Amino acid sequence: MKLGFIGLGAMGHSMAGHLHGKGLLAVVGNRTLAKARAFAEERGLRAAASAAAFADCDVVMLCVPMDADVLDNVGGLSTVLMPGSVVVDHSTVSVDTARAACERLAAHGIGFLDAPVSGGVEGAKNGKLSVMVGGAADELEKARTALEAYAARITHMGASGAGQATKAVNQVLVAGINQAVCEGLALGEKLGLDPDKLLPTLMSGAAANWFLDKRGATMLRSEFTPGFKCAHLLKDLRIVREMARAVGVNATVIEQSLSDYAELVERGLGDADTSALITLKRRG
């Protein structure tokens, strides 16, 4: 199997590294080409200056920020990939984007899987991501060996779009957990509690969670290196709000988080980790 990977950011850099570790990766692409060149030169791979560089790939992975980035790349790939090849999108985008990408590629005999991931940069580094897949089961089988390079779990959720629908649910939980942890730790600070005792105590009881474990200590030190950027969670919440409105769900967590992350982005913290939410909680 010959693979390509597009989008060497906080997540994609590590994921592509795992594919290279398995000897599967041939070519990498990235908006800033210098990043792809550096990655490729270090590992003896090719860096893609255009979609044409992926023409001989059986599978191409995407991990890019926005819906438009996915559709742009899919547009380019649809003109160069061979029928029977598969594009796997690990970005978090809307169900509509996933279905549009799938249709566009299907017209050229190319498969598409929406396969967003959860587990954060730590999950990407450790190869322990949860991958939620929408699309045809036979397309998943073509890509499964590659996905296993960085997955702790691969779940086929259903037809095209089902992976992104699952990720939308995931992001509501992420947003709510962020709200609770940031508010709780801001309270702990104001009450003068010792973080070296507070964090392990919380992590040993019913309040334990991934975000507290991975971001608790750093947010108390006001270190907000991503991680997961505020701008990306804001983008996810906008997608999720539309879905919640369409089906009719009380969206209190989504609305509060949208307002908070929009404010953080406005204040210039779009590239900061989502744990920067604690700065709003500290204001009282």
Minimum CB separation from ligand NAP for residue 70, in Å? 8
The residues binding ligand NAP (CB under 6 A) are: 6-12, 29-32, 35, 63-65, 69, 72-73, 91-92, 117-118, 120-121, 228, 232, 236
Identify whether 167 is a catalytic site residue: yes
Which residue's CB is nearer to ligand NAP, number 58 or number 69?
Answer: 69
What is the smallest separation between the CB atom of 98 and ligand NAP, expressed in angstroms?
12
Which residue lies nearer to ligand NAP by CB, 198 or 262?
262
Q: Which residue is nearest to ligand NAP, using beta carbons?
A: 9
Which CB atom, from 238 or from 282, has the smaller least distance to ligand NAP? 238
Q: Is 41 or 196 the residue whose CB approaches ligand NAP more closely?
A: 41
> Which residue among 35, 167, 235, 281 is the active-site one?
167
Tell the smallest beta-carbon distance from residue 196 to ligand NAP (Å).
26
Phi, psi of 262 (to 5 degrees): -65, -40
CB of 46 to ligand NAP, least distance (A): 15
Side chain identity, residue 227: G
Residue 35 or 142: which CB sits closer to ligand NAP?
Answer: 35
Q: How far is the CB of 34 from ligand NAP (least distance, A)?
A: 8
Catalytic positions: 167
